[in-house]
Structure 1
Amino acid sequence: MPRFRFHVLNDTFYLQDEDGKDLPDTAAVEVHARHVLADVVADEIRQGRSSIHLAIMVEDPRGTRIANYRLVTTVTATQSPLAD
């Protein structure tokens, strides 16, 4: 099974994935990338960040970048739960 690496970056850090993850195909790569984004954004929110910009760069076993996943969100407080 091929080993993919998921490098995470935002506006303040770059985390290079030294270990990688064995996954069967690109569909599994996308699912894993989304889970990584969810975990990192949850940590960012817990740390009190309100403007979050994250990216994951995925490399195949040869070190070729095969995908980029990007997440941009803002956490705001409003009077109405559905307000802009």
Structure 2
Amino acid sequence: MCRYFFHLVNDSSSIPDKEGQELANREAACAVARRTAGELIAHEVGAGRDIVHLTIMIDDEAGARVANLKAVANVVVSENPLVP
């Protein structure tokens, strides 16, 4: 098991992860980052934001960057229901 740290950067802030999470491997850490990104985007869109950008940087316990996850959501509401 290795401890992974998930540092969040969005349009308005940067939040370092000081606790981390013990996971089996890099793939498990990436799965956690994907779920977290989905939850954060759902929260922001649910709060009325139409554009959301976020990055989750994953570091291992030695401080090495093992992955970056970048996510973007762009909500477009059409006034014409016939236009996709």
> Structure 2 length normalisation: TM-score?
0.89
Q: What 5-or-longer segments of structure 1 have no aligned partner?
A: none
Q: Deviations over 1:26-82 (max 9, x none)?
A: 111111010110111112112211011110000001111111000112011123487
Q: 1:30 — aligned with what? A: 30
Cα gap change, 1:41/1:82 in structure 2, threshold over 3 Å: closer, same or farther? farther
Matched, 1:74 2:74: yes
Structure 1 residue runs of 4 or more that deviate by more than 4 Å after TM superposition: none
Within 5 Å, give how 1:19-58 maps onto structure 2: 19-58=19-58
Q: 1:14 — aligned with what? A: 14
Cα gap change, 1:17/1:76 in structure 2, threshold over 3 Å: closer, same or farther? same
Secondary structure, counterpart of 1:49 in structure 2: coil
Report if the CA contact (8 A) 2:2-2:22 is conserved.
Answer: yes
Secondary structure, counterpart of 1:28 in structure 2: helix
Q: Residue type of the partner of 1:6?
A: F
Number of residues of Structure 1 aligned to a counterpart in Structure 2: 83
> Structure 1 length normalisation: TM-score?
0.89
Secondary structure, counterpart of 1:67 in structure 2: strand
